[in-house]
Amino acid sequence: METTKLTITAKKSIDCREDLLVFCFEQPEKGLPACDELLQPLIVKAIELGDFTGKMNDILLLYPYGGAGGVAFAAKRIMIVGMGKLAVDADSDSLREICRSVGGTIARQCEKLKAATVAVSLPVVGSLPPETVAECLTEGVLLGDYRFRKYKTEEKNEKPYLGLKKVVLLTQGAVAQVRRGSERGARAAKAANAARDMANRPGNDWTPTRFAEYACALAEEMAMKVTILEKADMERLGMGGILAVNRGSAEPPKMVILEYRPEKPAETVLLVGKGLTFDSGGVSLKPAAGMEDMKYDMCGGAAVLTAMRVIGQERPGVGVVAIVPATENMGGSAAVKPGDIIVHYSGITSEIVNTDAEGRMILADALAYGIEKYSPCCVIDLATLTGAVIVALGHHHTGILGNNDELVERLIDAGRMSGEPLWRLPLGPDYSKQIESEVADIKNTGGKSAGTITAAAYLQKFIKEIPWAHLDIAGTAWEFTEKSYIPKGPAGICTRTLVNLVRKWQKFPSDRN
């Protein structure tokens, strides 16, 4: 829950009074498990009976007994969570994922048991420093504890479980480092949860105006600069893409811009996120089945704005500007029509063959404007852009395309570190040919084949030669790979990838080039 209190302490596990006390358990290669001495006899028994194996996310619940021969744990319940076998050569990214996964399992069990307070004995996880274990475990617990309750009126006669009030991490070692790690994890998880909230709020609630309000509040809180371009500004600037998409909607469009500047002048990374608060397809109307999911078509915008929250808190040495073009795509009587030709901010003309290919139209203006105005060292855009990326990669990888190997690799690394894997698809002149138009510079669809690539090829026209990467999150923004720390619904995808990218940022391009 929003207000979960985190406590890091060197207290003994036996003295914890929480609703649930958790020990993590590494599956032994052979012989007896290495774990808390007091618990070992109980666990051995459960293993002998085959009730517990210690496999990843396997659980064993125990109820402390303080009488003769028992051990006087003060907690209400004890849970042992399996971490599986940790390979000696396991890389740190997979160890991080194990911690998040265990954290998610803990949160799920807490919900099942209606345990509002939990203490976790910080495990040793291969070669990971305790600080990192604490970071990823905290991340997993807070991400796994997320529920969207805004529109649930309380059920009568039943005491609803409202999530975790308190999470305690028990550590024998360096309390200060563990606390630092845990807080870092909490910032990332809370930001991703905020992105999930934005996505869960439906089209009649989370409108372009809400995006603008969120950015203004964040700017105030974090001392960042905010600019909201209104419809009249877009008209003055000639942003024909977002204006065309907005024509069929009663909700005013917003171009939301947040600027984080470090103390010492530095290069600027530009982030652009698609903020389509509802995509009906417009005149090229989508089928009714599943259309409600198009309230999630703003997840790219949610990722960049919530990443900015963490950037504002942590104040890294690199500048970051985030732009969210926000509008609905509706089929009102003034709506853009198939065959219409529009003029983008850059002056490039585009034939609108399908009004449902609207994401690239609003991103084109934002990219061209952002690059001209902020002279970034590189640009990253995120968008639920194409159904085709689901055909290509399913729900297990975000698609990434780009014109710069180093930038793409940095993002792939940050994604792997965050448990949000990316997979690269190609670009090239053969694909760009598919969006040539007979009557305008380009057209907004490239035919049946390679839909994710031709959508990216459209964006590429607005990039010029700047290092650029495009993340198509249509397959991962919701229905993302089932994980203990990803509840059903929007995943808050790529908020943490962006955060980790910026946390690790080094001068770009690096000197290797």
Look at residues 333, 481, 357 and name the one whose alpha carbon lies nearest to residue 418: 481
In the set 190, 360, 410, 496, the catalytic residue is: 360
* Cβ proximity to ligand BES, 227 vs 437, nearer residue: 437
The distance of closest approach from Cβ of residue 298 to ligand BES in the complex, given in angstroms and rounded to an integer, is: 10
The distance of closest approach from Cβ of residue 240 to ligand BES in the complex, given in angstroms and rounded to an integer, is: 18
Q: Reply yes or no on whether 76 is catalytic.
A: no
Map residues 261-280 to x or -, x wherever contact with ligand BES holds by CB under 6 A: ------------------x-
Of 352-371, binders to Mn ion (CB under 5 A) are 356, 358
Tell me: does residue 279 bind Mn ion (CB under 5 A): yes
State which of residues 18, 97, 131, 279 lies at the interface with Zn ion (CB under 5 A).
279
Mapped to the 3 state alphabet, what secondary structure does 390-410 carry?
HHHHCCCCEEEEECCHHHHHH
* H or E segment to which residue 21 belongs: strand 20-25
Of 342-371, binders to ligand BES (CB under 6 A) are 354, 356-359
**162, exposed or middle or buried, with CB in 10 Å at 0-12, 13-18, 19+?**
middle
Is 140 in contact with 104 (CB distance < 8 Å)?
A: yes
Look at residues 387, 388, 380 and name the one whose alpha carbon lies nearest to residue 412: 380
Map residues 382-401 to x or -, x wherever contact with ligand BES holds by CB under 6 A: --xxxxx-------------
According to DSSP, residue 383 is labeled E
In the set 165, 166, 180, 286, the catalytic residue is: 286
Name 400's bridge partners: 424, 471
Of 409-468, binders to ligand BES (CB under 6 A) are 445, 451
Q: Reply yes or no on whether 196 is catalytic.
A: no
| HSE value, Cβ hemisphere, 13 Å, CA-based, for 55 | 5
Binding segment for ligand BES (CB under 6 A), chosen from 122-130, 204-212, 318-326, 380-388, is 380-388
The distance of closest approach from Cβ of residue 27 to ligand BES in the complex, given in angstroms and rounded to an integer, is: 38
Is 40 in contact with 33 (CB distance < 8 Å)?
A: yes
Residues 6+ apart with CB under 8 A from 107: 140, 141, 142, 143, 144, 145, 164, 484, 485
* Cβ proximity to Zn ion, 97 vs 328, nearer residue: 328
Judged by beta carbon distances under 5 to 8 A according to partner kind, the member of ligand BES, Zn ion, Mn ion, none in contact with residue 445 is: ligand BES
The distance of closest approach from Cβ of residue 358 to ligand BES in the complex, given in angstroms and rounded to an integer, is: 5
Is 368 in contact with 346 (CB distance < 8 Å)?
A: yes
**204, exposed or middle or buried, with CB in 10 Å at 0-12, 13-18, 19+?**
exposed
Tell me: does residue 301 bind Zn ion (CB under 5 A): no
Any idea which residues carry the catalytic annotation?
Answer: 286, 360
Residues that bind ligand BES (CB under 6 A): 279, 297, 354, 356-359, 384-388, 445, 451, 474
